Amino acid sequence: MTLDLDAFIDALPKVELHVHLVGSASVPTVLELARRHPGNGVPATEEELRRFYTFRDFTDFARVYQAVNSLVREPEDVATLVTGLARDLAAQGGRYVELQVTPYAHHLVGMPMRPVTEALDLAARQALDVHGVEMAYIFDIPGEYGEEAARITVEHALQEPPAALVGFGIGGIEQERPKYRDAYRDAFGAARAAGLHSVPHGGEMTGPETIWEVIEGYGAERIGHGIACLADPRLVAYLRDTQLPLDVCPTSNVCTGQVAAIADHPLPRMLEEGLYVTLNSDDPPMFATTLADEYRVAARVFGLGKEELAGLARNGVRASYLPDHRKQALLDEIDALLRGPETHRPDPAASV
């Protein structure tokens, strides 16, 4: 990869559409939380924490994720995670993020809805004022926790929504969802009736049947992952015809064992099939990646050039829930960067 292409990736205006609140916590953010809440088994020095964070396998990832999650005890901790992500994205050319928040996790540790919402609102203002990154939120159900998790998530979304709440999702263990089919369909129905966008995970850990379920049962407007679609030609044709966006996270899929090696990732074939793909990071520090690094993977491993990388960035902007005028400002910046650095002038209105 040439320095020129590397510099282009750094300068490319980016949006992040698939990243999780706890999974976004980088070393500086976790250090702050670990020092605030000592004695949780999370190292409180940078050197030890970097060793702790080194990705080994999915089992170790789950252990690290749970350890970091145990540090999120108070609304202040939620805000710290949000502003930490904004800081990290700003350094990569990130302009806008739709952050996946799991209210049920905060409910389980006794955080009331209103203080959590106030923390999310405050953090969104700080993210924009301090880092120039606009925050939006997606509330997601942890799919293995069933009816109570669905009920709590919907109640928080409808009764105490943060100002920047734009979507409703579901993540977690896909294999557990059929047990709670009706509860999850009902939850998405209520969220959509309230005006929230449907952005569930689907086709990451299971096959095309889960993608069909989120389309037909949840009214999906955008799908997290979706990489299993290629096993079903009828589904591929449907996704191509409808241009339903798929938020793809290549490094994550390898780390979680859904793809054997990065060279085997289906992203190139998805693009060849004419599917609508956006590029995202999922749980970036825990998988030793960043949003910018995902673009580097697309260039280095899949051979994408500037035009193709810009196309992925445009896809992310268009698939986002930004207002149209802010989408256009970011699209204009991407086009200007492609024409040459002398024409690239960041527009402050793009993130206001």
177's tokens:
């969802």
Q: Where are the alpha helices (DSSP H) in the chain?
A: 3-11, 27-36, 46-53, 58-69, 75-90, 103-108, 113-131, 146-159, 181-193, 208-216, 233-242, 250-255, 267-272, 291-300, 306-319, 324-339
Backbone phi, psi, residue 340, to 5°: 140, 150
A 10 A CB-CB count for 226 gives: 29
Alpha-carbon 57 to chain mean position: 21
Tokens of 329: 């400002």
Nearest to 334 by CA among 87, 4, 95: 95
Q: In this structure, what token pair is assigned to residue 119? A: 């923390």
Instruction: From the candidates 204, 213, 294, 333, give the one annotated as an active-site residue.
Output: 204
CA-to-CA distance for 340 and 253, rounded, in angstroms? Answer: 34
127-162 burial: b if 16+ Cβ within 10 Å, else e: bbeebbbbbbbbbbbbbebbeebbbbbbebbbebbb
- Whether 204 is a known active-site residue: answer yes
Three-state DSSP at 202 gives: strand
Provide the annotated active-site residues: 204
